[in-house]
A and B are shown apart, each in its own frame.
Chain A
Amino acid sequence: MAPSAPVLSRLVFAILLAGGGLAAAGTVESPPAPPSVAGEKSGPLTGGTADHSKFDALKGPFADNAAVTKACATCHTEAETHVKKTIHWTWDYLNPSTGQHLGKENLINNFCTNAKDNEGMCAECHIGNGVEKGEYDFKKQTSVDCLVCHDSTSTYYRLPPTRGHEACGVLFEGRQPYDLANVAQRVGLPGRENCGACHYNGGGGDGVKHGDLDSSLNRPPKTLDVHMAVDGANFACTECHLTDKHVIAGSRYDMVAKDLVGQGKPGERRAVATCESCHGVAPHPKPSLIGYQLDAHAERVACQTCHIPKIARGGVATMTDWDWSTAGRMIDGKGYFEENYKQGDGEARHTYWSIKGNFTWGENLTPTYKWFNGRMIYTTPDGKLDTDRLPVPINAVQGEADDANARIWPFKEMHTRVPYDAGNKTLVYNHLWGADDTAFWGNFDLAKSIAAGMKIENRPFSGEIGFLPTVSNWPITHMVAPKEDAVPCAECHARQSRLATLAGIYMPGFSRFGWLDFLGFAALALTVLGVIVHGGLRMAMRKDPDGGAK
């Protein structure tokens, strides 16, 4: 029997040692250490091994947030570099599949329209420190605000970097002060409240923008969201939106509308936040007839379409309609508001506000369904508007039935009449926030505020302001209901179908060939008629009571 490999190598090593020993006259050298393995992968962090209240660097007191960040960086040396490469910092995104330049710094939406030129307020949600003036340079070497994402005391908050006009500045006054040292010593991984501080409030208030993201998700019951339920899985956002060097998976700008990969190998898929990345591509219970059929649905129907039966169902309303054309009305020379909508949790919502116009709210809404292949084409500020086809889509959902990568997705549609340049047919930058005499929020003069916004951006402006019906489409993916609350089959597979407006798919119960049904039922009717006539004649012409031939 030949000696095994380790035995052989040990033998060779011993001989070499012996030889070496002879050569070096008795000095023994240890073998060189192998280089460490680079690029090993680890699972997501849980537990933690550091108590931040024990770090000297975090004892404080801290003069400002930037001082806290400096302290953080004494250990987390690369965190700031990482964060500054992410869209959370840059607000700038080049979509690789469409080539469009997106991000809050570039786009105009149909809520408060433009963050740009309004950073003095909008940067309340930008994670940077050191904004002193209204204009904000994202390339400037300011520090990252670590606390807004990592605060676990629920006491920390951000204010608009500038105070704005007298009339609006008061909105943010009178909040409870917080103790920076206390917050710094109690940092943790982001919870739902941290992400929600900005993402619940998109569009200008709780639940306004998304319909599936609002403060009801801080402590949701299972019926509202099985994943985030405090009495259930209690997922933080980052349980699905995994991070890598502070880059967070699951961008709305470049979505995976149809995930054919599924789970991958354990722990392998980190850069996606699809349902399939946890649940796999065939998640329904089997062996079961319905299970197989439901798995097959996933070919054309997104998980969210069935598993999110309604949106805005946590007691917080979402805005469905906004009319900017009524903005600027005043009573006694001052702006005012009306609160004629009372949402599920009892809170009253604005139905008119001089700084914004008229609002319509909705709760427990059925989403709008569209074919979606993951691509959105945005109407960008530099593009010429096609006003022949209204409403103009702020983001046009791409995908058709004959596109194999498209699935039926739920969306919240937001309908807004936005101010636009009716002469040049472009969207406009509106200078809303500021202490100057052109900011709309305070001066209530659209002609001035739009002219100012366009001037800051160096855009041509005809001076002719119109109001343009627009629609924006917000993909729905949160507020996943328990499986027993999924949309029942007959909500779609019926003549009155949730998917009635979608073309290009044969859906039993809804679809039919009209001519075939006509011919078929006509044949049945004629047959029954024939039976009645024949049977009637037989009875009428019967000669003997025993019936026909014997």
Chain B
Amino acid sequence: MSEMSLGAPLAPTGGKRTVMIYSRYERFWHWSQAALIFALAISGFGVHGSLPLLGFRLAVQVHSYAAVALIVLWIFTTFWHFTTGQWRQYLPKLSSLPAVIRFYAWGILTGAPHPYSKTLKRKQNALQSLAYLSFMVLIGPALWSSGVVYLAYPLWAGWAMAAIGLPAVALIHTAAAFLMVTFVIIHIYMTTTGKTVAHYVTTMITGYDSIEVSPAQAAYLEQEEPGLLKP
């Protein structure tokens, strides 16, 4: 009931509080990245010839400009991760991984509680951390590094290795694109596994979620960061 407290300060208590866990920048990053990835997937599989919706020329334009935009976004976000220390959220935490996997494989069906609860310091469960880490250090870099080389083809078209270089780059880029789309499908499905089907998506839009905070965290938030607590 502490969410309802108004007016004169009470002694801070811990427990469930509705706290902003995804900052404005994080949400901006997430949703603009989502939009760009959709645009890139549609145009990219258009360029590949599997999804001829836009026409080749427009697909190339959309894909190239969206790619540049996403790379800029990723540069900013990498900077943000390191300056804010948020990069620690992605450190693998393998000890609790089996429990999380067991939950999604079986517990979720039988109504078992989630073995992990969000905290301010650790917003993601072990499986999420691992998935997002691989997104950011494997799939993402495979895509952008091969993509930059692909996009810069005019610079190396005249090199002798261009004839084998181009298919090699295309191979890496296409393979990583399949992994990316697979990731996105699973990711979207997993958003439906919250308290309600829309709960996680709502959280990612508003930034607020009800999480367990310690009395000390509650006291700090109320005194120093009241804006992060939903009144």
Contact = CB atoms under 8 A, between A and B. Distances in A.
Nearest to A291: B154
A505 to B, nearest CB: 7
B181 interface: yes
B24 to A, nearest CB: 29
B56 A293 contact: no
A524 B185 contact: yes
A524 B182 contact: yes
A538 B109 contact: yes
A508 B154 contact: no
A528 B184 CA distance: 11
A292 B49 CA distance: 22
B178 A548 contact: no
B52 A524 contact: no
Contacts of B112: 549
A508 B195 CA distance: 44
B114 A289 contact: no
B13 interface: no
Given A510-B49, A524-B185, A528-B185, A519 B178 contact: yes
A531 B49 contact: no
A534 B114 CA distance: 16
A289 B158 CA distance: 18
Nearest to B59: A509
A493 B56 CA distance: 7
A506 interface: yes
B202 interface: no
Given A508-B170, A527-B185, A535-B189, A543 B60 contact: no
Pick from B47, B56, B153, B163 the residue with the most CB of A within 10 Å: B56
Contact of A506 (B47, B64, B111, B170): B170
A523 interface: yes
A164 B160 CA distance: 57
Contacts of B145: none
B109 A541 contact: yes
Contact of A290 (B60, B114, B160, B195): B60
A495 to B, nearest CB: 5
Contacts of A296: 153-154, 157
Contact of B108 (A488, A520, A538): A538
A550 B163 CA distance: 58
Contact of A546 (B114, B174, B196): B196
A531 B191 CA distance: 12
Nearest to A510: B49
Contacts of B192: 535
A512 B61 contact: no
Contacts of A295: 154
B57 interface: yes
Contacts of B174: 512-513, 516-517, 520
Given A292-B154, A402-B163, A546-B195, A494 B52 contact: yes
Given A289-B64, A293-B153, A523 B178 contact: yes
Contacts of B195: 546-548, 550
B171 interface: yes
Nearest to B103: A549
B175 A516 contact: yes
Interface string A470-511: 000000000000000000111001110000000011101111
B49 A508 contact: yes
Nearest to A288: B61
A516 B171 contact: yes
B193 interface: yes
B52 to A, nearest CB: 7
Q: How large is the interface on B (under 10, 10 to 19, 20 to 34, 35 or more residues)?
A: 35 or more
Interface string B99-117: 0000000011111111000
A290 B174 CA distance: 21
Contacts of A494: 49, 52, 56
B57 A290 contact: yes
A404 interface: yes
Given A488-B57, A523-B182, A524-B185, A512 B163 contact: no
A90 B195 CA distance: 91
B49 A489 contact: no
Contacts of A40: none
B154 A293 contact: yes
Contacts of B220: none
B167 A531 contact: no
Contact of A299 (B113, B162, B197): B162
A548 B167 contact: no
A50 interface: no
B157 to A, nearest CB: 4
B3 to A, nearest CB: 17
A2 interface: no
Contacts of A549: 107-108, 111-114
Contacts of B196: 546-547
B48 interface: yes
A489 B197 CA distance: 43
Interface in B138-173: 153-154, 157-158, 160, 162-163, 166-167, 170-171
Max chain B C-beta neighbours (<10 A), residue from A534, A541, A549: A549
A516 B160 CA distance: 25
A87 interface: no
B14 interface: no
B65 interface: yes
A517 B109 CA distance: 33
Which of A292, A537, A544 has the most chain B CB atoms closer than 10 A to its own CB?
A292
A181 interface: no
Interface string A322-336: 000000000000000
Q: Which of B154, B177, B192 has the most CB of A within 10 A?
A: B154
B178 A490 contact: no
Nearest to A506: B167
Task: Enumerate the 3 nearest inter-chain pairs by beta-carbon distance, A residue then B residue, closest first.
Answer: A520-B178, A296-B154, A506-B167
Given A494-B52, A524-B178, A524-B185, 18 more contacts: A489-B60, A490-B56, A493-B47, A504-B163, A506-B166, A508-B48, A512-B48, A512-B49, A516-B175, A517-B50, A520-B178, A523-B179, A523-B182, A524-B182, A531-B185, A541-B110, A547-B196, A549-B112
Interface of A: 289-290, 292-293, 295-296, 299-300, 401-402, 404, 488-490, 493-495, 504-506, 508-513, 516-517, 519-521, 523-524, 527-528, 531, 534-535, 537-538, 541-544, 546-550
7 contacts: A508-B170, A510-B49, A516-B171, A527-B182, A535-B189, A544-B111, A548-B195
